Amino acid sequence: MPIHSEWLDADRRLVLWRFESPWSWAEFARHYQLLKEQAETFDHDFDQIFDVSQLELLPPDVVLRVRREFFQRIPHTRYFLVVGADGYIQLLWNTLTSFPFAAHMHAFFFQHLEDAIAFSRDQRES
């Protein structure tokens, strides 16, 4: 599967999404819905890490799909952390999150997964 998602800790405070090309919107929707259902039962916040370091292509109509299907905030999401994004993906993400419907998806960018994990843990401890 080109999309993998897993909790990185037993407390479910940090979820990792790994993307590889090609991936489909149907596959993303399955992972998104599962995470949303899990998060609705939480009494704590959590961070999402999106590892796009192995991503070569984005599927078509990214902005339209996000706006139409995935703009609602998953309950208890604190930060979006993106690992391995090239300049194009960073520009696209920052442009997308400049719109009011996606402002809650503002992201912090990292080159290495370890740095994103450390950021999440440091923010939680402060």
CATH of the domain at 64: 3.30.750.24
Average pLDDT over residues 69-81: 86
Run of H or E including 62: helix 62-69
> Model's pTM, two decimal places?
0.90
Task: Please determine, for residue 81, whether its predicted confidence score (pLDDT) is greater than 70.
Answer: yes
Whole-angstrom CA distances from 23 to 32, 39, 86, 95 are 14, 23, 17, 22
**Domain span at 91:** 3-125
Domain count, the chain: 1
